[in-house]
């Protein structure tokens, strides 16, 4: 499975900041709704908040993987964002997250969802990958970086 099948330039952004986790997820789901008109941004937002309430999706490396499986989604996709001033995702021991991957997919595609999470985790653990992502100047640059990292993995 290649990440490039699930991510497009219009689903990648570099943001200055967000007031909170919920504010960030609202911003991202609004942008997702514009790029993916077949899904309802409010439905995705509610599903992401529900998932986060079960347990934070942040990591000790400053990455967060908010994800939701919703009936309305026709296919799985990934949105990516760099938030220059990171946002706390809830886990007390983790730093603020500044690299965010939002995964959305249909409930029937649970296996795709798991495989995407695993692929993103592998990419993020590649030496230098997070540094390169964090240096992206804009969404197109972030997308190019993710494609390059994805191509480095078999």
Q: What is the pLDDT of residues 5-16, one digit of tens each?
A: 999 999 999 998
Between 94 and 84, residue with greater pLDDT? 84
- The overall average pLDDT reported for the chain is 92
* CATH of residue 33: 3.40.930.10
Average pLDDT rounded to a whole number, residues 57-78: 91
φ, ψ for residue 130 (rounded to 5)?
-65, -40
Task: Specify the residue for token string 């077949």.
Answer: 38
Please check the confidence at residue 154 and state whether its pLDDT lies above 70: no
Average pLDDT estimate for 22-32: 95
Split at pLDDT 50, 70, 90, the class of 93 is: confident
pLDDT (average), residues 72-79: 90
Number of structural domains, the chain?
1
What's the pTM? 0.94
Domain that holds residue 127: 3-152
pLDDT digits (tens, 9 = 90+) for 94-126: 889 999 999 999 988 888 888 999 999 999 999
Number of alpha helices (DSSP H) and beta strands (DSSP E) in the chain: 5, 5
Q: Helices 110-124 and 139-152, interaxial angle, to 10°?
A: 90
Q: Closest Cα partner for 21 from 89, 97, 102?
A: 89
More confident residue, 17 or 10: 10
Strand partners, 80: 12, 101
Name the strand (E) or helix (H) holding 52.
helix 41-54
**Locus of tokens 């993710």:** 146
Residue 129: in which H helix or E strand, if any?
Answer: helix 129-134
Q: What is the mean pLDDT of residues 68-85?
A: 91
């Amino acid at each position: 499975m290649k990440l490039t099948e699930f991510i497009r330039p219009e689903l990648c952004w570099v943001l200055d900041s967000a007031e909170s986790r919920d504010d960030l997820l609202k911003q991202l789901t609004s942008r997702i709704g514009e790029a993916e008109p077949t899904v309802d941004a409010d439905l995705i937002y509610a599903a992401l908040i529900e998932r986060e309430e079960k347990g934070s999706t942040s990591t000790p490396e400053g990455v967060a993987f908010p994800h939701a499986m919703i009936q309305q989604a026709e296919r799985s996709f990934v949105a990516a964002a760099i938030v220059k001033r990171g946002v706390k995702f809830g886990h007390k021991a983790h730093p603020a997250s500044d690299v965010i991957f939002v995964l959305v997919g249909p409930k029937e595609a649970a296996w795709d969802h798991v495989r995407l999470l695993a692929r993103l985790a592998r990419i993020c653990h590649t030496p230098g990958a997070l540094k390169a992502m964090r240096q992206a100047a804009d969404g197109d640059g972030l997308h190019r970086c993710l494609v390059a990292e994805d191509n480095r993995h078999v």
